[in-house]
Structure 1
Amino acid sequence: MRCSLLIALMLQGLLLCACGPRTETTVGKGSASTTLSHRAFDEILRRQVDSQGLVDYVSLQKDDRVLLDAYLNSIAATDPASLATREDRLAYWLNAYNAFVIAGVLDRYPMESVQKVEGFFKEKRYLAGGKTYSLDEIENEIIRPTFEEPRIHFILVCAAKSCPRLGNRAMDPSSLEKTLEESARGFINSANGVRVNEIDKKLEVSALFKWYRKDFEQEAGSVIDYLLRYLNEPPPDIGDYEITFLSYDWALNEQAQPVPANGQQQTED
């Protein structure tokens, strides 16, 4: 009986290990590198994010919160400095940021906007690589200065409707460059990114280009020159256009939920 029980417990443990995120360490000549799987986060995004980048937080909380927590545990346990390539490390931080935002929303859901949650970006702490960080620290003290990559602003999603669309796949280091390029082009050619007002000669652009102007200027010399890299149909006289900034919609990036039969919708606490 004791032998049968032991075998059953061992099989259960093997099943749990197979289902959760995995971190593997490869030892080479005098060095070691870690490989982190983002498959769990990828599965969550594919199930819970639609083509418009809106999240089904109700379903995610009910069906995928355990898997999300398991993925966050793998982020907590993995030192990003041990990852082999720049792409591995950048994918780690981009996925971590977006996963932390989702977890932060779920912790306070239902909500209308993360802007109404005190300390959402600057005070709430998350564990990554054995250290705790706020979302603001991850973005502005790690990702931006370390990677000097302005296209990250089209990947990082702060759970607001004016943010770039949350992709329904996790960042994969092997295809990260392609994803960055597609995300930049997609956002800049969307209504949330850039609106060309030919009558008034204005480029009405996302507030992201105001908040992070230096990142785009450092890369391309000016915001307009950066936009010219990606705009599908730039006006020929774009140099004469004035840049204005769109108001930012901080409403939560959630999918509309069906109204219950009793006609009452869930409300905030």
Structure 2
Amino acid sequence: MGEPEDSSHGWVTIYSVQGCPHCVQAKATLGLLAVPVRSVDLGKHPELRPAVKKLAGRVTVPQIFFNQVHVGGNDDLQKLDPEELQRLVNLVRDEPTHGLPLPDDDDDDQSGEGTGEADGELKCEQDELAVLVEDFKRSDVIGSHRKGLSLIKKSFSEGQLVDWLQKERGMAQALARETGLALLERKYMVSIGGSSEKCEAGVPFAAALSTIMREVVLKLFSDHLSADGKRVDYQAMAKSPLFERYCTLAVQLQRVELLALSREEKLAFFINTYNALVIHGYLRLGPPTSTWQRYRFFNYVSYLIGGEVFTLQDIENGVLRGNRRGMAQLLRPFSKTDPRLQMALPDVEPLIHFALNCGAKGCPPIKTYTPQDIDGQLRTAAEAFLENGDGCVVDSGKREVRLSQIFKWYKADFGGTDEKLLNWVLEHMGDSAKKSDLQSLLSAGKTKVCYLPYDWGTNSTH
């Protein structure tokens, strides 16, 4: 293993993986300290993982060392006392460092982010308060309480929270109350009726976060989409301050209370999250260009949502398709004992196929969705897709209907037979000449179904 050359100063070493918002924030903070910073990408150098785990005692990233002094993760860095931080800065400036595991090729970034592939083995560190909230949610404190004549589910009193923090976390009463206020301020829970006497366990947060993220993504798309809505300038998007804002918001997904979502909220939330995660993955990892890269991309690029990891495959096939096997999958995404199974829609929703955008040219255009009238929005998306020549072509002369490969890959979602598929297509077409032609074909008898070539080229403008 290589290491920095001996000199009159040392190094701050940060072990990270690409696409981790915690790592990005930590690097930005370290960049303000005017000390040498060496970033080691553990996605690019997996051989270093065991040594880093042994030194840090953790598998999360980032892990930060001032010379040989282990500070911890991003949260630990942000909480450092100013005097302690200055001591560590002086240590780096005055003394060399030795012995930390570094790559042999010495090609990692010494000031910013490295490069690497999606990593299914390392996870971003969790927000400290998120860990506390997860433990609290598993306690028997949260229940139903009356406020006047109303019965409020998933609620608790301020006193119950403070008592739990004192008993289970060993906090003094003053610290427990301060922690409760921090949970309120950071929206892990909300006050009911303007009072902190009873607090609901974060139920409204999902809707609020989804709304904010939707607005940010919509702005990003509008700023960087081509005039036809099918191409994205990823290079410009990656440099946008708005994208960094999105990365910060994405971290908050771990606070979402998924079980509280209605069907409509779940559809909008997971469709928008899927489309945004694809963009996030493209910007951090680059677009996949081969079948194997696409497989890895959709099976490993993930967000931590409500305490559980959801990959793109998990969102599409596990949640939105009612836990059905996807392409090249031998098993259902969620087993019977998987807690994420509770998130799955009870039945497949075929209309989601016209809302999800995988970044390829053959995908439906990128849009965002709201829970209000989500079914109407999805139906409109389907109509637009079928009206387009890339989605459906009706050839009356050959008595043939040519459809997007999406209908072939997910034929079971549309009825499973050619007859049911064509009837579904007809039912979901908008009033148009194409619909009239298809109606005439179906009325006249047997109609052949074939499939259009699918364009796996990326929707990047570059």
The two structures share one fold, judged by TM-score above 0.5:
yes
Q: How does 1:1-269 map to 2 (within 5 A)?
A: 25=190, 27=192, 33-34=203-204, 35-36=207-208, 37=211, 38-50=214-226, 51-63=228-240, 64-83=242-261, 85-109=262-286, 111=287, 113=289, 115=291, 117=293, 119-145=296-322, 146=345, 148-167=348-367, 170-217=368-415, 222-231=420-429, 232=432, 233-234=434-435, 235=437, 236-238=440-442, 239-254=445-460, 256-257=461-462
How far has the Cα of 1:230 moved from its partner? 2.8
- For the 8 Å contact 2:362–2:456, the answer to whether it is kept is yes
Aligned to 1:6: none
Q: Which residue type is aligned with residue 224 of structure 2?
A: Q
1:127 alignment partner, SS class: strand
How far has the Cα of 1:27 moved from its partner? 4.4
Aligned to 2:149: none
Q: State the identity %.
A: 27
- For the 8 Å contact 1:72–1:99, the answer to whether it is kept is no
Residues of 1 paired with 2:200 and 2:256: CA distance?
16
Residues of 2 paired with 1:96 and 1:249: CA distance?
23
Q: Which residue type is aligned with residue 101 of structure 1?
A: V
Q: Which residue type is aligned with residue 249 of structure 2?
A: Y
Residues of 1 paired with 2:318 and 2:300: CA distance?
14
How far has the Cα of 1:209 moved from its partner? 0.7
- For the 8 Å contact 1:41–1:71, the answer to whether it is kept is no
Q: Which residue type is aligned with residue 454 of structure 2?
A: Y
Specify whether residues 205 and 98 from structure 1 end up closer, same or farther in structure 2 by C-alpha distance, changes over 3 A only.
same
- For the 8 Å contact 2:254–2:306, the answer to whether it is kept is yes
1:75 alignment partner, SS class: helix
Specify whether residues 60 and 179 from structure 1 end up closer, same or farther in structure 2 by C-alpha distance, changes over 3 A only.
same
Residues of 2 paired with 1:76 and 1:48: CA distance?
28
Moved more, 63-72 or 151-160: 63-72
Residues of 2 paired with 1:221 and 1:197: CA distance?
17
How far has the Cα of 1:97 moved from its partner? 0.6
Structure 1 unaligned spans of 5+: 1-20, 258-269
Specify whether residues 225 and 30 from structure 1 end up closer, same or farther in structure 2 by C-alpha distance, changes over 3 A only.
farther
RCO higher in structure (CA 8 A, sep ≥6): 1
How far has the Cα of 1:30 moved from its partner? 9.8
How far has the Cα of 1:54 moved from its partner? 1.9
- For the 8 Å contact 1:164–1:187, the answer to whether it is kept is yes
Specify whether residues 214 and 59 from structure 1 end up closer, same or farther in structure 2 by C-alpha distance, changes over 3 A only.
same
How far has the Cα of 1:112 moved from its partner? 6.6
Residues of 1 paired with 2:363 and 2:383: CA distance?
14
Q: Which residue type is aligned with residue 215 of structure 2?
A: R
Residues of 2 paired with 1:57 and 1:148: CA distance?
32
TM-score (norm: length of structure 2): 0.46
Structure 2 unaligned spans of 5+: 1-185, 323-344
Moved more, 231-240 or 141-150: 231-240
Moved more, 72-81 or 139-148: 72-81
